[in-house]
Amino acid sequence: MYELLSEENHHYIEKARHIADTHIRPVAAELDRDQTYPWEIVRAMQKENMMGVWIPKEYGGRGAGVLNLCLVVEELSRACGAVGVAYAVNALGSFPIIVGGSEEQKKKFLPEIAEGRKLIAFALSETDAGSDAGALQTKAELVDGEYVVNGAKKWNTNGGAADLYTVYASTRPDRGTRGITAIMAEKGTPGFEIGYEEDKMGIRAVSVHELYFENCRLPEANRLGEEGKGFGNAMMTLDRARPGVAAQAVGLAQGALDLAVMRAKEDQYGRPALAHQQAMQFKLADMATRVEAARQLVYTAARALDAGVKNISKLSAMCKLMATDTAMQVCTDAIDFYEEWGMLRTEPIEKFMRDAKITQIYEGTNQVQRLVVARSLLKEYSS
């Protein structure tokens, strides 16, 4: 229901749609095939002043909030899910600074991100600490005003492309989640290396790397918030960022629906178009209904965040869960409209299904989202 959106919302949709039409659709298949980072598209976004949509104006951003961020991600992902996440992950990486950084740190890091001069990534997950993020093993020890960091991070989206990384490390391993601290790392710091790049099934155009820290010395001034408050910072960040991934999923689902409707209306080699069959009409109706329901939940979560609603975890997890399951379902159903051709790499639809799968996995698996929703629900009913 685009009619319910404001003039400002439409401004961002139109800008993102223009970039999608002119810069993304023509190259999406090629970027996917070669697993090439979309630098040209990032530059186009920079030129259009779109890199800091969610960053407050006082730090060089557009101050347009999470809803506009979601609208942009949705439009980009409607053309290519990998480009959508390459953009959205800058919000994930910068929210830790927005929620936990000092005034000085915000002034230092945010303007460069807002202008698109620097990309940022979020380094929380490790090989043995994905869903159980609190079990992370990377260590940081304060020595003479610097944190000496040792360990390895896994599944780092934007890994090779970013200049800045929000790194979560344990400064007090004996204290579990209460011993985790958030520290900013800059690319090129000695002892910090960008490692192995994953060869992925979907979202192939965005780079995902391992990160290695070996006696890497980061200034104490790069610590976000107090020591031991890093886990809360990561959780608050994910509450704010999950609608962005949910918007990526809505964009993918809408893109697949667009293709399915167009295909349904095509003549089938002399046979009547699939759109004449009631069974296929019903399938389209179910797909469109699911997409709209998911979209509205994402917009509601984004609006709640922009309005400063405090207990946002449940709604944020719900929208991520609903939108990403919808994307998987709708992208899979859309393939049916291609009949046997749906399994060919030459048809654009198969990429949507491959791109959709990861949305159910990253930024917290959908099992983690269910855990967050259930915990909040049970808490509400006990008070």
Contact between 280 and ligand CAA per CB under 6 A = no
Taking the CA atoms of 117, 30, 68 and 101 in sequence, report the sign of the dihedral they define: negative
What mask of x and - would describe binding to ligand CAA in positions 318 to 357, judged by CB under 6 A? ----------------------------------------
Contact between 92 and ligand CAA per CB under 6 A = yes
Identify whether the C-beta of residue 107 lies closer than 8 Å to the C-beta of residue 278. no
Q: Residues 230, 239, 373, CA angle at the centre, nearest 5°? A: 115
From 264, 331, 368, 373, residue interacting with ligand CAA (rule: CB under 6 A):
368
Catalytic residue positions, numbered? 363
From 227, 239, 325, 333, residue interacting with ligand CAA (rule: CB under 6 A):
239
**What's the 3-state SS for 270-325?**
CECCHHHCHHHHHHHHHHHHHHHHHHHHHHHHHHHHHCCCCCCHHHHHHHHHHHHH
Helix (H) or strand (E) segment spanning residue 76: helix 65-79
Query: CB of residue 178 vs ligand CAA: minimum separation in angstroms?
Result: 5
* Pairing state between β 192-197 and 146-157: unpaired
Q: Position of tokens 């990253």?
A: 362
Query: CB of residue 55 vs ligand CAA: minimum separation in angstroms?
Result: 18
Q: Which two tokens stand for residue 363?
A: 């930024």
From 68, 90, 171, 313, residue interacting with ligand CAA (rule: CB under 6 A):
313
From 231, 299, 337, 338, residue interacting with ligand CAA (rule: CB under 6 A):
231
Query: CB of residue 4 vs ligand CAA: minimum separation in angstroms?
Result: 28
Residues 168-197 that bind ligand CAA (CB under 6 A): 177-178
Identify whether the C-beta of residue 207 lies closer than 8 Å to the C-beta of residue 36. no
Residues in touch with ligand CAA (CB under 6 A): 85, 89, 92, 122, 124-125, 131-134, 155, 157, 177-178, 231-232, 235-236, 238-239, 313, 362-364, 368, 371-372
